[in-house]
Amino acid sequence: MTRTVKVEQHEDGSLIVPLPNDLLAQLGVGIGDVLYLAEEYVGTTRCLMPTKTPQIPDPFEVLVEHRNNEAAGT
């Protein structure tokens, strides 16, 4: 899913990236939760991806961890 939003300026001068409520619901984000923006590339296009974790795990590292857990019986 791809969404495009415009950066807005708050009255105090800070910048805001408004996110639609349905997107926040899909992410499981509620009021007071921390949301991170991770920089990722799709081909050569730079994208910012909202995530609840500080860093998106490398798919290879996730696979290795899963295989190690299977081998250890956990």
HEC assignment per residue over the chain: CCCCCCCEECCCCCEECCCCHHHHHHHCCCCCCCCEEEEEEECCEEEEEEECCCCCCCHHHHHHHHHHHHHHCC
The domain spans of the chain are 8-72
Distance, in Å, from the CA atom of 2 to the CA atom of 32, rounded to the nearest integer, reads 25
For the segment 50-73, the average pLDDT, to the nearest whole number, is 76
Name the DSSP letter for residue 67. Answer: H
Has this prediction a pTM greater than 0.75? no
pLDDT, tens only, 24-44: 888 888 888 888 888 888 889
